[in-house]
């Protein structure tokens, strides 16, 4: 069986995994829209595995200062804007037949599943991978319209593998089912 690293290197070499680097929220949103416009022709055969939100808030470039903020003025108050919500336009306009996987990171275990489920309902995509900040590298919940599956690393696995090795095979299986469903509907 190939290791995750070997598989990763293989898809990179074959050009079937596209990794895009970005620095700002604006960079990310423009890159995402551009990639969606290009990949839309792939329809249901494309899987969009979105970057988890680094933050829900940002400072727009128009309000960024050019020089270092001086501490001589005393305390500092920041006003931030909410990062634009892009999942709805992505699902309804950019790639309506694409298979879309998003992430939901929380710090409160009591709201993780409900917030993830709310995202599915609000945006209408296929899967949310929910995780907690405290355990994000060892446990995730894969949430769909029909249920949820938890993937955890055991004590030995924590030292040897990434959590993605547990749930990515399930994403592939569900994507294959998505493709089959869409072909049957045509």
Return the SS3 of 87.
Answer: helix
Q: What is the pLDDT of residue 70?
A: 86
The mean of the pLDDT values for the chain is 88
- Percent of all residues in the chain with a pLDDT value above 70, rounded to a whole number: 93
pTM comes to: 0.80
Structural domain boundaries in the chain = 4-60+79-185
User: Quick one: CATH architecture of 4-60+79-185?
Assistant: 3-Layer(aba) Sandwich (3.40)
Is the confidence at residue 47, as pLDDT, over 90?
A: yes
Q: What is the pLDDT of residue 89?
A: 93
CB within 8 Å of 156: residues ≥ 6 apart? none
Work out the burial of residue 155: count CB atoms within 10 Å of its CB; fewer than 13 is exposed, 13-18 middle, 19 or more buried. exposed
Kindly indicate the confidence band of residue 8, based on its pLDDT and cuts at 50, 70 and 90: low
- By DSSP bridging, strand 139-144 and strand 147-152 are antiparallel
Is the confidence at residue 131, as pLDDT, over 80?
A: yes
Cβ proximity of 100 and 90 under 8 Å: yes
């Amino acid at each position: 069986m190939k290791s995750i690293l070997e598989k990763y290197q293989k898809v990179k070499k074959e050009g079937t995994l596209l990794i895009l680097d970005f620095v700002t929220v604006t960079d990310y949103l423009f890159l995402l829209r551009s990639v969606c416009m290009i990949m839309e022709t792939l329809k249901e055969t494309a899987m969009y595995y979105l970057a988890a939100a680094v933050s829900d808030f940002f400072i727009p470039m128009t309000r960024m200062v050019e020089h270092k903020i001086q501490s001589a003025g005393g305390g500092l108050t920041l006003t931030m804007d909410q990062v634009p919500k892009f999942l709805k336009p992505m699902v309804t306009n950019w790639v309506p037949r694409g298979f879309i996987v998003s992430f939901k990171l929380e710090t409160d275990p009591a709201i993780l599943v409900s917030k993830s489920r709310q995202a599915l309902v609000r945006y209408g995509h296929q899967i949310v991978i929910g995780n907690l900040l405290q355990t994000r590298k060892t446990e995730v919940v894969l949430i769909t319209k029909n249920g949820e599956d938890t993937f955890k690393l055991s004590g030995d696995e924590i030292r040897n593998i990434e959590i993605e090795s547990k749930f990515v095979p399930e994403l592939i299986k569900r994507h294959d089912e998505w493709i089959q469903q869409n072909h049957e509907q045509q």
